[in-house]
Amino acid sequence: MAFTVGELAKLTGITVRTLHHYDQIGLVQPSDRSRAGYRLYTDGDVLRLQQVLMYRELGVPLDEIPAMIADPQQSLAKHREVRLAKRARIDAMLSALDVAQRLQGAAMTNEDVKGLFDGYAEEARERWGETDAFKESARRTKHYGKTEWESIRREADGLYARFAELMRESAPPSDPRVRGVVEAHRAHIDRWFYPCSPEMHERLAALYVDDPRFAANFEQVAGGLAQFIHDAIVG
């Protein structure tokens, strides 16, 4: 079958103007013409239009669509990874909002929150005192007051609460929700303490299970949480 611009617009719900634009930029061009000179879209053109609309629905820019149609397997896999990452970030943000709502009104003094970290200060200085990460963390936290430490505590509590929820659901490390919280946890450290690459994040995760004091803190939130967070980060 062959369709005129007007017919295809009615069938698909796309405006004639959009079809003309796709024709002008070479994205979807009619392969045939009627005796009267009207553009005619063949079955192959309609199939290509369907592909274009699918990619547009996924948010792919027009100038990237031809390459994706030419190599759909590789392009779709790459685009899927981007979308999964975006979904994970959204899930992490929603989780943080849920926890923040539950913790609304909770307050902690500057000294209360600093006390959570001071117990490791001397050992951290001995282990990593000469590292850029330690120096950067010391530089940043030196200027933190009550507001900053309360924000750190609320964010951390929210992240660990969400980890615990997912652990109780037996969510695997590959679960997009788990990946989202892992990324939010890495970003939390990166934002408040020191640049935290994925490799640095994994080294930190090792401490959660190797150092009994770290593990004990997580176990107070939920049994097995230290191992779950470790597996989630390195997974």
CATH number assigned to the domain comprising residue 196:
1.10.490.50
Confidence at residue 218, expressed as pLDDT on a 0 to 100 scale: 83
First CA to last CA across the chain, in angstroms?
Answer: 51
- Do 163 and 113 fall within a single domain? yes
Q: Do 64 and 32 share a structural domain?
A: yes
pLDDT at residue 199, rounded to an integer? 87
Q: Tens digits of per-residue pLDDT, 134-183?
A: 678 878 888 888 888 888 888 888 899 999 999 999 999 999 999 999 99
Distance CA 96, CA 104 (A): 12
Same domain assignment for residues 102 and 210: yes
Q: Where is the domain boundary, 70, 95, 115? A: 70
Predicted pLDDT at 116: 40
Same-domain check for residues 62 and 141: no
Are 12 and 104 found together in one domain?
no
Host domain of residue 153? 75-234
Instruction: Name the domain boundary from 70, 93, 123.
Output: 70
The CATH number for 24's domain is 1.10.1660.10
- The two tokens of residue 136 are 């950067």
- Write down the pLDDT at residue 91: 59
Number of domains in the chain: 2
Both 171 and 225 in one domain: the answer is yes
Q: Give me 14's structure tokens.
A: 């796309």
Ranges of the chain with pLDDT below 50: 96-97, 99-129
CA atoms within 13 A on the CB side of 67: 9
Evaluate whether 226 touches 205 at the Cβ level (below 8 Å).
no
Say whether both 50 and 113 belong to one domain: no
Same domain for 14 and 94? Answer: no
The verdict on 107 and 222 lying in the same domain is: yes
* pLDDT at position 194: 85
Question: Would you state the pLDDT for residue 94?
Answer: 56
- Please tell me whether residues 66 and 79 are part of one structural domain: no
| Judgement on whether residues 61 and 108 belong to the same structural domain of the protein | no
Residue that is last in its domain, among 70, 100, 115: 70
- For residues 88 and 41, membership in a common domain is answered with no
